Amino acid sequence: MACEENARSHRGYGRIVYIAGAAIIVGLIGLVMLATSSGGGESGGLLVAVTYPSLDEDLAQIACSGDRVVGLYKPGADPHDLQLDPEKASIVARADIVVTGGHTPVDTKAEELARGIVVNMLEIPGIWILNIPGDGPNTHYPIYEPGNYKAFLIHVAKAMEEARPDCDYTGNAQKILEELKALEKARGALTGRKAVLDLPASQYPAEWLGARVVLILAPGHGHAGEAISPTTLEEAEKQLAQGAVAFVTVDSRGIPVSKAGDWLLDKARDLGADVVLVKAPYVRGTVVEKLQYIASQVAGES
């Protein structure tokens, strides 16, 4: 009887050891999978972290085999409303390259945490920064213009080559920049026209088209607390009635992303003013695709 009980005890102990061992193995596999999913690129490839939503689509096009370009936020998320949680902060800290828009709280925090090369689009040589009428520098997505975009893409490519010299990132970038040549015919299409904008990021494509921006309804990007004065609305209505073009920032469905945009689109339609829809920089699609969308609306204007 004692031997039988002893045997049962040993079998029970064996089951416990087996279960415990299996649990440890499963745990280790989980840790390895987590490290792989959030770690760097494969076979010596780069990990590139991008704070601006959708901009990772552009940089993925110049990446080499084994690289990982990680957009920290999904397309459609307004950069001004984002936060850098611990998981995203960990990715930034491990990244070889960190690309930021240069002006939101997330951008600032990411640049502080970065251990790799930081690319702040506002600090790239050759990027020209416009001034908001009656206000200061327009730091909202200056690469929404072919010249600035070219300077940005080449700068990022060179930073990636610095971190991984065996890959021709500059050559990859040139393939994309070839697409910009087809957009040259749209440059200056609205020369001599005035423009009224809802949000500041649209100033870059508007100036590229040759329009002179005279008013931006919500220069602070139309945040919930940003009120538009009656005087501003009166001036906007006056400019539209006199032939100014309305530039309205829209989402991927073509719907205005702000109350300022809703008002501007409705007023432009009431007055019969010309309207150019501008995809918000943070919605899905590359910069080239968004510029093509804009150019298609002014075809034949120049």
pLDDT in tens, 210-262: 999 999 999 986 554 578 999 999 999 999 999 999 999 999 999 999 999 99
- Please state, in angstroms and rounded to a whole number, the distance separating the CA atoms of residues 143 and 60: 17
Asked whether the predicted pLDDT for residue 161 surpasses 70, the reply is yes
pLDDT in tens, 31-60: 333 333 344 555 679 999 999 999 999 999
pTM score, two decimals? 0.84
SS (H, E, C) 78-93: CHHHCCCCHHHHHHHH
Distance between first and last Cα of the chain: 101
Q: Which domains does the chain have, with CATH numbers?
A: 47-183 (3.40.50.1980), 187-297 (3.40.50.1980)
Name which of 211, 280, 221 is nearest 243 in CA terms.
211
Cβ–Cβ < 8 Å for 169, 155: no
Q: Both tokens of residue 300? A: 């034949």
Asked whether the predicted pLDDT for residue 15 surpasses 50, the reply is no
Asked whether the predicted pLDDT for residue 118 surpasses 80, the reply is yes
Confidence band for 22, pLDDT divided at 50, 70 and 90: very low
CA 295, 148, 154: angle at the middle one, nearest 5? 115
Partners of residue 25 on adjacent β-strands = none
Q: What are phi and psi of 7, to 5 degrees?
A: -65, -45
DSSP per residue over the chain, as a string?
-HHHHHHHHHHHHHHHHHHHHHHHHHHHHHHHHHHHHHS--STT--EEEE-STTHHHHHHTTPPTT-EEEESS-TT--GGG----HHHHHHHHH-SEEEE-SSSHHHHHHHHH--SEEEEGGGSTT----B-TTSSB--S-TTSSHHHHHHHHHHHHHHHHHH-TTS-HHHHHHHHHGGGGGGGGGTTTTTT-EEEESSGGGHHHHHHTT-EEEEES-TT---TT-PPPHHHHHHHHHHHHTTPEEEEEE-TTS-BSSHHHHHHHHHHHHHT--EEEEE-TTSSS-HHHHHHHHHHHSTT--
Asked whether the predicted pLDDT for residue 150 surpasses 70, the reply is yes
* Average of per-residue pLDDT across 95-121: 97
- Please state, in angstroms and rounded to a whole number, the distance separating the CA atoms of residues 297 and 295: 5
